[in-house]
C-alpha cells in the first residue's frame, strides 16, 4: 500500500487539475473554431456554446468554493471572466450577427495562462 502525505497529494492534484482545465479549454477552443467556420446557426455552434457554458459554470462553482486554493482576488476576477463568457455565449447563440472571435480570444488567454 502506498502512503503519501496530504501535501504531496495536494501538490499533485493541483497540477493534475490545471492540466485537466487546460485540456477542457483546448476542447472548447476546438469546438469554437469549428463553430466559427460553420456559422452561428449551425449544430456545431450549438454544441460549442453548450460546452463552453457547462465548462464555465463548472469552473465558476469551483472558483467560488472556499476550498479553492487560488487567491481571493484572482478567483473573483476569473469568476467575472466566466460570467462574461457565459453571457457572450448566450448572445452569440441568439444573435446570428455576432461571431465567435471574442469567445475564442478570452478562452485562449485563460488556457494560455494555465501553462
List, for residues 73-105, the tens digit of each pLDDT value: 999 999 999 999 999 999 999 998 899 999 999
The 8-class DSSP code of residue 23 comes to H
Q: State the pLDDT at residue 9.
A: 40
Could you state, in chain order, the average pLDDT of each consecutive group of 10 residues for the chain (115 residues)?
A: 41 72 97 96 96 97 92 95 98 91 97 88
Q: What is the pTM of this model?
A: 0.85
DSSP for 48-75? HHHHHHHHHHHHHHHHHSTT--S-HHHH
Q: State the pLDDT at residue 110.
A: 96
Amino acid at each position: 500500500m502506498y502512503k503519501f502525505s496530504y501535501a504531496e497529494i495536494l501538490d499533485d492534484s493541483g497540477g493534475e487539475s490545471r492540466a485537466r482545465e487546460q485540456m477542457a479549454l483546448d476542447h472548447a477552443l476546438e469546438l469554437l473554431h469549428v463553430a466559427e467556420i460553420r456559422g452561428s446557426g449551425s449544430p456545431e455552434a450549438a454544441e460549442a456554446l453548450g460546452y463552453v457554458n457547462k465548462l464555465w459554470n463548472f469552473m465558476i462553482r469551483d472558483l467560488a468554493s472556499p476550498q479553492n486554493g487560488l487567491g481571493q482576488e484572482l478567483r473573483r476576477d476569473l469568476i467575472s471572466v466566466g460570467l462574461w463568457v457565459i453571457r457572450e455565449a448566450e448572445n452569440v447563440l441568439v444573435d446570428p450577427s455576432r461571431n465567435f472571435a471574442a469567445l475564442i480570444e478570452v478562452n485562449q488567454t485563460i488556457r494560455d495562462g494555465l501553462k
